[in-house]
Chains A and B, each alone.
Chain A
Amino acid sequence: MSQADLVVRGAALAESPQAPVDLFAAKGRILALVPAGTRPVPEGAKVVEAEGMLLLPGLTDVHVHLREPGQEWKETIATGLSAAAKGGFVNVMCMANTDPVNDQASITETMLDKAAKSHPRGPRLFPVGALTLGLEGKSLAPLEELRAAGCKAYSNDGRPVADSELFRRALEYASDLGIPVIDHCEDPYLAPGAGVNEGEVSARLGLRGAPACGEAIQVARDCLLAQYLGVPIHLAHISSKMSVDVIREAKAKGAPVTAETCPHYLILTEEACEDYDTAAKVNPPLRTRADQQALLAALEDGTIDVLATDHAPHASHEKETPFDEAPNGISGLETALSVTWELVARGELSARTLVSAWCVRPAEIFALPLNRFQEGDPADFILFDPSARWTVTPKALASKGKNTPLMGRELTGVVRAAYVAGKNAL
């Protein structure tokens, strides 16, 4: 066994905060995790004193929009990865709806090159390739070429494939390559262009609403296809109870589906769109308290596997328009852990589920580096100060996207360090 070159002393695991531990790592890998003070620190090792901190495996965000190439005024790979590091993420999967679309190796390679140059110490970037050429939903993208270039998943996110036959063939082809497909579940013919949940708020404000069943119909299609074909599908940003019910039933029948939801669906409801607040305009839209409770329960029972931010940065002027005109999206990388940690603090989410949904399951599903604090695992971990408070201000966010309905709100919990393969990316 090699000698530890990094030792983190006195931090606590989220699931057992009363029992501090010492972490030993060498050459970017975990050596051991032991009760605090039970093993001597080798000479020459870098020692990080972490009393009062929580020690979490690094977070993986499987759903991020980095906007580069094409819309660098909203975000760049450099600013997006800085925001990710501040948020505690060690692995980031970026969606294909750039301009041009990431549907060829040269785009993937450019993304990876920019990430390596701007953030050599991490976070790691894992591009998601387009499922169909140009995201147009008409013909398959060169999926093998994208895999060879470094894509870890395929998706038409933002422009779901309505043609079920094409989607079926895409799933089959992708499964040959061993790469999962992520689907944005939305029946594009049901309430096109809606930016708010169909319900009391949309009826009162005179806005076109998106019904929850528009999501659930596509979820049901995907679950049936996954089961029929025996191939995995990952369902993106689930927002409604109706979808949760469909997924739960499908999983019980053995459909190989996994699902994610986002922090904003767990802490906000459609009422955040009152006063036509465009910062709360997101697709799928924020829904009701009943949906929120169903999502929390689904996370706890494993119906929903993963938390993801769906980080969608926009420039201030783009959101400063009447509601209908504003683009969808919330900038979420830097607030994600704080708001979900607050749910843990309030007893609405267990610490075990938080670690599973942010760290373990996303890395498992997409075959990304995963730290379970076992010998040989990558030394990907964060130190999180669970009692520090901070206020969401434009200046506090490293992302170019200041578009969050949490702007001005005080949150609990700050990421003090984010180690990727034993090196602090912050």
Chain B
Amino acid sequence: MTWPHKDLLDVTQLSKADALEILRAAKSFQEINSRPVKKVPILKGKSVVLFFAEPSTRTKTSFDVAGKRLSADTFSLQKSGSSLVKGESLKDTVLTLQAMKPDGIVMRHNMSGAAQFIAERLDCAVINAGDGWHAHPTQALLDAFTLTERWGSVEGKTVLILGDITHSRVARSNVHLLRLLGAKVRLCAPKTLLPHAVSTWNVPVYSELDEAVRGVDAVMCLRLQLERQQAGLLPDVREYSRRFCMTTARLAKAARNALVLHPGPINRGWEIASDLADAPESLILDQVSSGVDVRMALLHLYLTRKERKE
């Protein structure tokens, strides 16, 4: 298959066939990740810059591991270690990086649209590792892959996304991708953490978790940031957890064998009860493993696109 996209900025760029192709590719890399020697020469000689202008543990490490397992050379750059802190513009920073001829840039940035901004200016592949509140396509793909592993397909399943929807790039990408793949999506959050125009997303929205969780096949919890309380969007974390923390008792109202996900990092007791985070219904660590599989698939697809075209 010839891969048609130069960059991965948002899941909205992908057709259903594209998304399924990524999941198929991830499956083949999953096999490599279960070998005693987890390294293949697919991207030997390729270089990938991991440009993280915002703190990240799992996404950055996941891309780093994925690149190295494909034999790519990965280079890390953080905002604090870059000329951005000296006042250099994002444009100049990435043009400088491009002049060193990397094959791809994986970027995390705190501003929505930042990945698109650099992709429009660079010749190399740009993979969005999360931009502001906008998109986190690789997270959505790994979530879909994780669920597909359990269910065979997400088609016809109902997934509840729970928590801070307004400020969540994970939610935006997942709403789109899960529906693209045939799942039904529900949202649950206090009104202060929902976009005012959420009705235009055409998904059911709940403010009572006990009602929202009824009959769903999976619950995707989102991280709550303390700033939301400071910004006056919530009374306090204790009250938030009373209303919106996912617990084993609440999950019992969902469909039989319902699963729970969380993109991490988790705040135990706020978004998800500690015992549920460690329970067999929890896919949190499966998501981390899937992350490497999916990111290997993505690096492969986006970095060898030109060769495969020829």
Contact = CB atoms under 8 A, between A and B. Distances in A.
Contacts of B201: 203
A193 to B, nearest CB: 12
A322 B114 contact: yes
B109 A322 contact: yes
Given A206-B132, A317-B89, A324 B197 contact: no
Interface stretch (A58-66, A138-146, A194-202, A397-405): A194-202
Contacts of A325: 90, 111
A211 B196 CA distance: 9
Contacts of A364: none
Contacts of A275: 113, 116
B91 interface: yes
A30 to B, nearest CB: 52
A276 interface: yes
Contacts of B109: 322
A324 B112 contact: yes
Contacts of A206: 112, 131-135, 169, 172
Contact of A198 (B90, B114, B196): B196
Interface string A200-229: 101111110101000000000000000000
Q: Is the contact region of chain A dominated by helix, strand, or loop, or is it mixed?
A: helix
B117 A207 contact: no
A321 interface: yes
B40 interface: no
A410 interface: no
Interface residues of B, number: 23
Interface in B99-119: 109, 111-114, 116-117
A323 B195 contact: no
Nearest to B201: A203
B271 to A, nearest CB: 20
Contact of B196 (A199, A207, A321, A323): A199
B112 A276 contact: yes
A206 B89 CA distance: 22
Contact of B111 (A203, A209, A320, A323): A323
A198 B195 CA distance: 9
Contacts of B113: 205, 207, 275-276, 322-324
Nearest to B112: A206
A216 to B, nearest CB: 15
A204 B91 contact: no
A322 B90 contact: yes
Nearest to B134: A206
A86 to B, nearest CB: 30
Contacts of B172: 204, 206
Interface string A321-338: 111110000000000000
A320 B121 CA distance: 11
B233 interface: no
Contact of B200 (A200, A276, A323): A200
B198 interface: yes
Contacts of A321: 89-91, 117
B227 to A, nearest CB: 13
Contacts of B197: 198-200, 202-203, 209
A253 to B, nearest CB: 30
Interface centre among A199, A209, A276, A320 (most CB of B within 10 A): A276
Interface in B180-199: 195-198
B303 to A, nearest CB: 24
Interface in A379-402: none
A207 B132 CA distance: 8
Interface in A251-276: 275-276
B166 to A, nearest CB: 8
A203 B91 contact: no
B112 A203 contact: no
Contacts of A276: 112-113, 116-117
A322 B195 contact: no
A213 B186 CA distance: 28
Contacts of A202: 195, 197
A207 B89 contact: no
Contact of A324 (B111, B135, B195): B111
Given A321-B90, A322-B90, A205 B112 contact: yes
Contacts of A324: 111-113, 132
A317 to B, nearest CB: 7
Contacts of A198: 196-197
A24 to B, nearest CB: 56
Nearest to A209: B196
Contacts of B196: 198-199, 203, 209, 211
Interface string B243-264: 0000000000000000000000
Nearest to A207: B112
Contacts of B198: 203
A323 B133 CA distance: 12
A323 B120 CA distance: 14
Contacts of B195: 202-203, 209
B114 A203 contact: no
B111 A322 contact: yes
Given A211-B196, A322-B117, A323-B112, A205 B134 contact: yes
7 contacts: A199-B200, A205-B112, A276-B113, A322-B109, A323-B112, A323-B117, A324-B132
Interface of B: 89-91, 109, 111-114, 116-117, 131-135, 169, 172, 195-198, 200-201
**Among all A-B residue pairs, the 4 with the closest Cβ atoms:** A206-B134, A276-B113, A206-B133, A203-B195
Given A209-B197, A211-B196, 5 more contacts: A207-B133, A275-B113, A321-B90, A322-B117, A324-B111
